[in-house]
Structure 1
């Protein structure tokens, strides 16, 4: 399903973050060392191959709330934006750090003149951030930033399950209409 927010198209889909060929960049829910891990980071690193780890090695480590951008070897996208989300209950203030991930990713996309970015649900897997709370933080952050975006015209959440897609859609619609 799609929404319009301040001239930006926002989509919410269920799918594979590594299979978003119509997006300029995908976002990696990275670990501090920017290496292969589980979940999203594992899927992206497996699809991109060893070239990605070679490119990320000199950029690590990063701190919660930070983001860096690399090329996207062996993927259909131009770039990967690597964000380190907070570990819920450990990295505080978790909501502020999660919002910073989305803000920094959008800043990097804008700086590169990108038109489209696909996000996973950052910090909601092994990092334990409750899905609904994370969706609300992400939705509020994207809406707050959408009015000042110049090059970015399309944003997409790519969620692992249909249940997560429905939840993100409902939360985004609620925040949009608040």
Structure 2
């Protein structure tokens, strides 16, 4: 398969899959994948975001993380985005789908126009990309169709590792086939 992206139009939302660096996205918010705990650190995605955003987000994360939550929001520090949603991804598909939906709802309530997710659970956590891709796209589809967001119009899944891109592209085509418009 090629490394070209894929786009699906679902209700008033655009779901996009692309190969790239999440820290270089032009979205209003991004998602940071974490392994858990009360401080930032861990996998490649997390380290890249913390390095690009600067240390101020680590302090804000600790302040905002009430009760060891699996979804914590901070400002974006030195990044172009407005907000970072720090999530603790699990390799459980039901939990992952719920986490993605809650993140999208939080982004909508915070009036984010766009958001970019990494391939949650596939880095430091070592999750199976084939297993984890589908619930991410299911959550995006369900959010667009059931929540009918007013503000959040663009949802991106940004894949950094080339070996994962084709897996996510195939999952998107299978899950969102009837909505796909551009390849």
The residue number in structure 1 matching 2:53 is 48
Instruction: Give matches, 1:18-97, under 5 Å.
Output: 18-20=23-25, 22-32=26-36, 33-60=38-65, 62-63=68-69, 66-86=70-90, 88=91, 94-97=92-95
CA distance in 2, matches of 1:156, 1:167: 16
Q: Give me the whole-angstrom Cα distance separating, in 2, the residues matched to 1:176 and 1:137.
A: 11
Preserved CA contact (<8 Å) 1:23 1:77: yes
Contact 1:11 1:155 (8 Å CA) reproduced:
yes
Equivalent residue pairs, number: 169
Return the offset for 1:69: 1.0
CA deviation after TM superposition for structure 1 residue 138, in Å? 0.4
Choose which of 74, 99, 102 in structure 1 pairs with 2:100: 102
Q: Check conservation: 2:20, 2:158, Cα contact below 8 A.
A: yes
1:62 Cα shift?
A: 2.8
CA distance in 1, matches of 2:104, 2:41: 23
Deviation of the 1:132 alpha carbon: 1.1
Give the conservation status (yes or no) of the 8 Å contact 1:36–1:46: no
Task: Find the aligned partners of 2:43 and 2:172 in 1 and give their Cα distance.
Answer: 26
CA contact (8 A) 1:26 1:79 kept: yes
In the alignment, structure 2 segments of 5+ residues that lack a partner are 179-183
| Cα-Cα RMSD | 1.5
State the 4+ residue runs in structure 1 displaced beyond 6 angstroms: none
Unpaired runs of at least 5, structure 1 = 89-93
Residue matched to 2:150: 150
User: Offset at 1:162?
Assistant: 2.7
Q: Which has the higher contact order (CA 8 A, sep 6+)?
A: 2
1:23 Cα deviation (Å)?
0.2
Residue 160 (str. 1) matches residue 160 (str. 2):
yes
**TM-score, length of structure 2 as denominator length:** 0.86
Instruction: Give the distance between the partners of 2:24 and 2:11, measured in 1 at CA.
Output: 27
Q: Could you tell which deviates more after superposition, 106-115 or 157-166? A: 157-166
Secondary structure of the 2:23 match is coil
Alignment match, 1:173: 173
Q: Deviations over 1:128-169 (max 9, x none)?
A: 221011101101111111122221100111101233222212
Deviations 1:45-93 (A, max 9, x none): 1111111111001233635xx312110000010000011011x3xxxxx
TM-score normalised to the size of structure 1?
0.88
What is residue 13 of structure 1 aligned with on the other side?
A: 18
